[in-house]
């Protein structure tokens, strides 16, 4: 399968804060780990055609076959002067969902805090990590299922790809450029104006809204996302805010 075209990516991302330096590897343990080695280098962007140790939230393995999908990480500007810096996950998720919807013509929803979904199946995941020093910025890692046709049996009813949803294959450079341009726009908004507009837009495309869910020990119906990026659960008229955890639908 064809390797990503570095020159097309450079040209397509020109003028953005993401992609001021781009590397493409045939294989890496994890693009997150490679990006971490480059801190602090705002705008650094790394792709891998395959990952041997790709990971999602809470250390879960991200399945990463070669040449079908997109696996990349980038480094942000410093985040130590921004309120609720890890709410940037929401800005990235919103930007991704908007781009994916434009590319596919299918409504894209965001499952709090870090999944993008089409037809109620996960097509992308986002991971945000820090070295512990927010003045160095944060590492944003993304896995996006683009042209994959087959999934492990345990993921068949949970995951999908742009190809499986639309029935057509996609140019991966075109997808990467569209997604990163959209993310860059929403990240700029978040950094310059705070999370208000991001949260309002996300609440319009929030997966499982009004559904009964469990997040850790908390159970309730999803009410929405708060101004700080927390998930609000309603139970018996009481709103509880959850700041981390995995959302499990109960109905």
Report whether 49 contacts 67 (CB < 8 A): yes
Domain ranges of the chain: 6-204, 212-249
DSSP state letter for 28: B
Are 69 and 143 in contact, with CB atoms under 8 Å apart?
yes
Joined together, the tokens standing for residue 108 give 């894209």
Give the CA diameter of the chain: 56
Sheet with 218-225: strands ordered across: 238-242, 231-235, 218-225, 212-215, 247-249
Q: What is the DSSP letter of 29?
A: S
Q: What is the pLDDT of residue 122?
A: 97
The domain made up of 6-204 has a fold known as BirA Bifunctional Protein; domain 2 (3.30.930)
Long-range contacts of 165-169 (CB under 8 A, 24+ apart): 165/104, 165/106, 165/118, 165/119, 165/123, 166/104, 166/105, 166/106
Model's pTM, two decimal places?
0.92
Locate the DSSP E strands across 101-156.
108-111, 115-118, 121-129, 139-144
pLDDT of residue 176: 99
Q: Which residues pair with 110 in a beta bridge?
A: 116, 206
Q: What is the pLDDT of residue 1?
A: 64
**pLDDT per residue as tens, the chain (251 positions):** 689 999 999 999 999 999 999 999 999 999 999 999 999 999 999 999 999 876 555 455 555 667 899 999 999 998 877 767 668 899 999 999 999 999 999 999 999 989 999 999 999 999 999 888 888 999 999 999 999 999 989 888 999 999 999 999 999 999 999 999 999 999 999 988 888 899 999 999 999 999 999 999 999 999 999 988 899 999 999 999 999 899 999 98
């Amino acid at each position: 399968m064809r390797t990503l075209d570095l020159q097309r990516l450079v040209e397509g991302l020109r003028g953005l804060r993401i992609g001021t330096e781009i590397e493409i590897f045939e294989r890496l343990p994890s693009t997150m780990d490679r990006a971490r080695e480059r801190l602090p280098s705002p705008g650094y962007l790394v792709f891998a055609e395959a990952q041997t140790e790709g990971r999602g939230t809470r250390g879960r393995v991200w399945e990463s076959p070669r040449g079908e999908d997109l696996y990349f990480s980038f480094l942000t500007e410093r985040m130590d002067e921004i309120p609720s810096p890890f709410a940037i996950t929401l800005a990235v998720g919103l930007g991704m969902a908007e781009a994916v919807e434009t590319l596919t013509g299918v409504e894209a929803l965001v499952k709090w805090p870090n999944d993008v979904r089409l037809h109620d199946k996960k097509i992308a995941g986002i991971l945000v990590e820090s070295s512990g020093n927010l003045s160095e910025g944060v590492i944003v890692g993304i896995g996006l299922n683009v042209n994959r046709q087959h999934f492990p049996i345990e993921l068949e009813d949970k995951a999908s790809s742009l190809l499986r949803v639309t029935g057509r294959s996609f140019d991966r450079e075109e997808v990467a450029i569209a997604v990163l341009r959209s993310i860059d726009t929403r990240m700029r908004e978040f950094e310059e104006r705070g999370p208000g507009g991001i949260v309002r837009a996300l609440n319009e495309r929030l997966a499982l809204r009004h559904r009964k869910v469990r997040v850790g020990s908390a159970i309730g119906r999803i009410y929405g996302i708060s101004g700080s990026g927390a998930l609000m659960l309603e139970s018996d008229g009481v709103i509880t805010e959850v700041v981390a955890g995995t959302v499990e639908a109960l109905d």
